[in-house]
Structure formats: structure tokens, C-alpha cells
Structure 1
Amino acid sequence: MTVAVRTGTWQLDPAASRVGISHRGMWGLITVRGAFATVGGRGEVTADGAAAGVVTLDAASLDTGHAKRDGHLRGAGFFDAEHHPEITLAVDGAERTGDDTVRAAGRLTVRGVSRPITVSATLADVADDALTLTTEFTVDRAEFGVGRKQLGMMPGLTTVTATLRFTRAAG
């Protein structure tokens, strides 16, 4: 059974949403995990079923539970949050690929560098006034100039996990 999503404007509920990252480091022995404390976004579903929107992360809000590491990740060698305060995923189009799955295509921007991206998400808890999207995908941080190869640092993929709760905007 396909779940219908109402047309209109949808607003991200930051209190009910979470975006986290994980990356293997230290010769692959340790996985560093963190979450962004400040998440925002919005979306729109049109009458023909097309969807578009944006999710924005405050780069300085990354919390890994280790203050010194967090400062380093926010610094010039990684996210450079002072000069690039936002990380954005701008979705130009999204389509249903199954009863509860969606494929979204757009651009991911990190450190002022934008790259095309396509992600799959699961649609859950759909009601007239709210819905949740969950996704997990990988990003090659080198494509965005994030970090540099150092002794003990693992190059390659960072996993992004997100649970995004949207509520239907009034009007």
C-alpha cells in the first residue's frame, strides 16, 4: 500500500530530527561519531507529486563528545565553520521508488564546495500533518576538501545518518 503525502509546504522539526556522522580513524581501530545539534530545513510537495527542499546543518554545532576534537573538526582543516557556517543538502527532485521509499537528487555543499548527490530514504509515520524520512549514505570527505591525510587518519568515506521529521506548515 502506497502512503500518500499531502501537497504543500513542510517544515523540519529540529527537536524531532537528528543528523549524525561516523568515520573510522586511527588505523581503522576507532570510529568517531558525532551529531549536529542545530538542524533546519523545509520542503514542498506539489500537486503532481514532485518534491523539493533543503536541509541545513550548522557546522559549528557538531558534537562528538570530545571538546578538543570538536574544535579541531570545526576548524580550518576540516569544516572551517567560521568561513563556511552551513552544510546544506538541497534536493531538486524526489520521487517515490516504492511504497515507503524515496530517491532524492540534489547537491550537497560542504566548505563551500557543492557536489551532486542522490540518496535513498525511507518514508515513515506519515500523517496529514507530519512525516519522517530516514536515510543513511556515505560521503567522500576528500571531494569537499575536508580534512587531510595524517598519520593514523583513515581517508575515504564518512557515513551520514539522518532522521528528519517534517510537519505540514499552516496555510
Structure 2
Amino acid sequence: MALFNRKSADATTTATTTVDPALAALTGEYTIDPSHSSIGFTVRHAMVTNVRGSFGAHEGTLNLDGSDPKNSTASIDVTIESIDTGIADRDNHLRSAEFFDAEKFPKMTFRSTHAEQLGGDTYRVTGDLTIKDVTRPLAIDLEFNGTATDPYGNERIGFEGSTNILRSDWGLTWNAALETGGVMVSDKVKLNFDISAIKTAPQA
């Protein structure tokens, strides 16, 4: 199902897909449901294993335009203080000035600038990711998981996906050398997104 604009085979032109009539019902604003969504990460530790964590506090909106999908947008705000890797001492270190400096930079944000269909229900959303007042472009590949009406009458829409970043690009450079060679924390970090969003009721 095409939610965003599809690029043509010719890179010099961009064509909009024919809108499926079913998309008209999806048009509108959606609020991300943090209790049924997850924004997390995976990073290599000591060169031999992976550490996984997530941010428990986040909020955001999706604006979908079924008539002109290229106008669809996404906006997400993540509270750094809510980081959780399951180890309190490690979480406190991540919040400290050596990593995120949560007291000085309490939020991580993403604002979309473009979206396109890669094929089927797979999409790429490009935007600006800001961490510690450093803003750099980020592309996220997402799979559209469909829609549903929950038992409370909420219209839901779901996406999941991931992308890789180099944390040093955003000023997250702390590390420690290992006696056997290599470093304690890899520069490469995988960001994971599992989003459930509720359609906002139109104002009367």
C-alpha cells in the first residue's frame, strides 16, 4: 500500500503513485502511542557482544496525506533521561556528560524532510536527527504493518524498521581501549523503531 511518494526509475524525475481509494481513510494526524511503541538501539560492547537498550519516554506525530502522499511527515521527540539498558550504573554513565549529557541536552529529535516508497510496503523516511545540538541527515527504512481498530475504538497504524549510524557523527565519542586491542564501545549503533500510532479525532 503506497503511503508516500514513489521515485521513478529515472533519478531526474519523481512520479506520484496512483492513490489507492483505501488511502483516503488513512489521511490525517496520528499520535505515537509510547506504551505500545519502542525506540531502541543495539551497540557492540568489548568487541564480542551486543548491548541493547531503549528510550522509555518518547512522543511524536505522523501526518499522512492519502491524496498527495509526498506531503506525509513524521516528528519524534525522545527524552534522553529515559534511557534503559537494564543496568543502572551503565544508564547513569550514558546520561552523563561523557555520553548524552542529558541534563544539558534533554531531548533527541527527528524531523522528516522526505519520504519515498522502495517497493511493496517498504518505505524510506529521510529527515534531520538532532543529538546534543548536532543535527545531521538520517534515512530510516520502515515496513508498513497495516491498520487496525482496537477494542477501544482507536484507529491504529503501525511501522517498524531500523537504520545504522556512527555515534561520533553526533559528538558521542567516549570510549576506552581494551588490553587485547579494540575499544569498549563500537562507533556503529543500530537504531530500532517499532511504532504504533493512533489517529487523532478531527476537531469539531
Q: Structure 2 length as normaliser, TM-score?
A: 0.78
Q: How many angstroms apart in 2 are the aligned matches of 1:150 and 1:18?
A: 29
Q: Cα deviation per residue 1:46-66 (whole Å; 9 max; x = unaligned)? A: 231121121111101000111
State the aligned residue count: 170
Segments of structure 1 that go 5 or more residues without pairing to the other structure are none
Segments of structure 2 that go 5 or more residues without pairing to the other structure are 4-21, 150-154, 179-183
The answer (yes or no) to whether the contact 1:133–1:163 under 8 Å persists in 2 is: yes
Q: Structure 1 residues 150-159 or 37-46, which shifts more?
A: 150-159
How far is the alpha carbon of 1:2 from its aligned partner?
A: 5.2
Q: Which has the higher strand share?
A: 1
- Matching of residue 72 in structure 1 with residue 119 in structure 2: no
Q: Cα deviation per residue 1:47-96 (whole Å; 9 max; x = unaligned)? A: 31121121111101000111000000011011111011111111122222
Aligned to 1:156, the other structure's residue is in SS state: strand
| Among 158, 172, 176, the residue aligned to 1:132 | 158
Q: Which residue matches 1:150?
A: 176
The answer (yes or no) to whether the contact 1:22–1:160 under 8 Å persists in 2 is: yes
Aligned to 1:83, the other structure's residue is in SS state: coil
Q: Which residue matches 1:141?
A: 167
Q: Which residue matches 1:40?
A: 59
Aligned to 1:80, the other structure's residue is in SS state: coil
How far is the alpha carbon of 1:112 from its aligned partner?
A: 1.1
Q: Which amino acid letter does the alignment assign opposite residue 87 of structure 1?
A: M
Kindly report the root-mean-square deviation, in angstroms, between the aligned alpha carbons of the 2 structures: 1.7
The answer (yes or no) to whether the contact 1:52–1:93 under 8 Å persists in 2 is: yes
- Matching of residue 103 in structure 1 with residue 124 in structure 2: yes
| Among 29, 40, 43, the residue aligned to 2:48 | 29
Larger-Rg structure: 2
| Among 178, 192, 204, the residue aligned to 1:161 | 192
